[in-house]
Structure 1
Amino acid sequence: MSSSDPAVALPTSEPRLTLYSTAGCHLCEQAEALLQALALRWEVVDIASSDALIDQYGVRIPVLKAGGTDTDLGWPFTADDVQQYLQNGDQS
């Protein structure tokens, strides 16, 4: 199967994931390794780029947020926590 085969594409229903992070954050590196082990796709947002993000997430990073939800998942989290968060969406 080639990488361009539609069968290997992620489902369109998969939530868009954002990992709020910053450079030099070893916990953020651990969170990224966990997400990679779960074969998820995510976008990293460096909170240092915005005073508002620093205010919101500065002492909580890494923080995972699924698009379309009002909730987020702050560190520490496990693979089970991530899977439950993604299944429950903003019901948690």
Structure 2
Amino acid sequence: MTLLQRDDCHLCDLALEVLAAARAPEFESVFIDDDAALEARYGIRVPVLRDEPSGRELDWPFDAEAVRCFVTPPAADAPSC
């Protein structure tokens, strides 16, 4: 799991708080400021939570429940989030 963010980003700080509240599994923080490719792709979309293996992304704004649904694959017999 990767959190794409910027330096000095208030929304990114809020996203970190939400991830903590959701008890999200460990994730890598990637700052897009000095990477032209990431800057072009994500620009003002950050913060974005990205699942690298699947390529799925969760754009801000998200809450703890959305994060839990994003990081926990649904069981076959459970309703999807």
TM-score by length of 1: 0.72
| Relative contact order higher in (CA < 8 Å, ≥ 6 apart) | 2
Matches within 5 A, 1:1-92: 17-40=1-24, 41-88=26-73
- Segments ≥4 residues shifted beyond 4 Å: none
Provide the identity percentage. 36
Distance 2:68 2:59 in 1: 14
Higher relative helix content: 1
Give the number of equivalent residue pairs. Answer: 73
Q: How many angstroms apart in 1 are the aligned matches of 2:69 and 2:3?
A: 16
Structure 1 unaligned spans of 5+ = 1-16
Which structure is larger by alpha-carbon Rg, 1 or 2?
1
**TM-score, normalised via structure 2 length:** 0.80
The alignment yields a C-alpha RMSD, in angstroms, of 1.5
Distance 1:33 1:81 in 2: 13
Task: Give the residue type in structure 2 aligned to 1:18.
Answer: T
Q: Secondary structure at the match of 1:59?
A: helix
Which SS does the other structure have where 1:68 is aligned?
A: coil
Measured after TM superposition, the shift of residue 83 of structure 1 is 1.3
